[in-house]
Structure 1
Amino acid sequence: EIHEYLMNAFDTRHHPLGSLLSELSTVYTATYGGVRVHPLLLSHAVAELHSITMRIYEIVVLFFPSLPKGGREFVLEPEGDDEGLVVSAAAILHPILLPRVHSALFVLYALHNKKEDDAYWERLIKWNKQPDQTLMAFLDIDKKFWERIQAEDAGFGEAVETLQQLKTTFSPLEKLLVIRSTFEQMTK
């Protein structure tokens, strides 16, 4: 219920929290996004995002005093087979904050990891040119599994489509849920 209220409050420009978030995300994106960014700004951007999260959380705690204070977190007891829900500043505010500053952070992380990313893509392109048998031989997969793996390839299409949803998710929790769903589909 608290999360729903906060989502609505932060999405409404007329609510003080909504105007605060709108201004903060505009300033953050202007500072760390744009044409003249440098990868050295990444650590500062992450530290500032953490600071913004904690300062906004202090305001939210004034509205909801039962929330954990001082950087603490607690887990709500699960109902049925569900997993427990973590209540913390990051768990409450990151799904709200990250979509608004994602573009600036993404560019900084991409610039910071450019060399590794380029090397990864070179290797990926090289290995994608190889047939499945060559890859399985290189990975030293026992030949008795080759036929089975090739028969199961058709089932991986759905998992690949699910994994492609990573491009459209912004919060870390949503990304983890997509990865989890992908693994569940692969192990069916």
Structure 2
Amino acid sequence: MNDDEAHVRILTAAEGLYYRKGYAAVGMDELRTAAGVSLRRLYGLFPSKTDIVKAVLARKHEEWEQGLGGRVRAAGPDARGQLIAVFAYLQDWFCTDDFRGCAFINAFGELGGTDPEIAEIVREHKKSFQRYMSTLVAGIGGSELLAAQLSILAEGAQSTAAISGDPAAAEQARTAAEVLIDAALRS
């Protein structure tokens, strides 16, 4: 196994373990075993656990942007439909068997208070989503306030669905988003 293969195996194992068990609960020995690499190779590729968490979050960010962007593009050119597609994407995600909430919110809750690097990565991910929503809202001629409101609905739905175990939070958020969007279009 070369370093690239080991790198992928470590990140895949870390992502799964962190998402299921939490960032703090997973030690390097457990990660090494799950990835099928030696401890020496693990530390050679990732000198610290923070390095692994940062790499996992970078991977999750890319996955989020690709998945969400793909769903929005599939909605076609209608700007309102693209906004609603954000909430359809959430609903599909919440209905997956392994849904455990937002990896970024989870990381911030566990590590954000003690690790400023992780806190900044999480903040940047959330700012990126806000910018994306602002772009979509601009497509209907909406305001930054509307973009913020829709972002908060999406973020709240993620937390609510994770805590309650009920994917209905996405549908509830979508319904509220439609009310806000339609009100903005009328004004």
TM-score for both structures, normalised by structure 2: 0.27
- Which has more helix, going by share of residues? 2
**Pair member with larger Rg:** 1
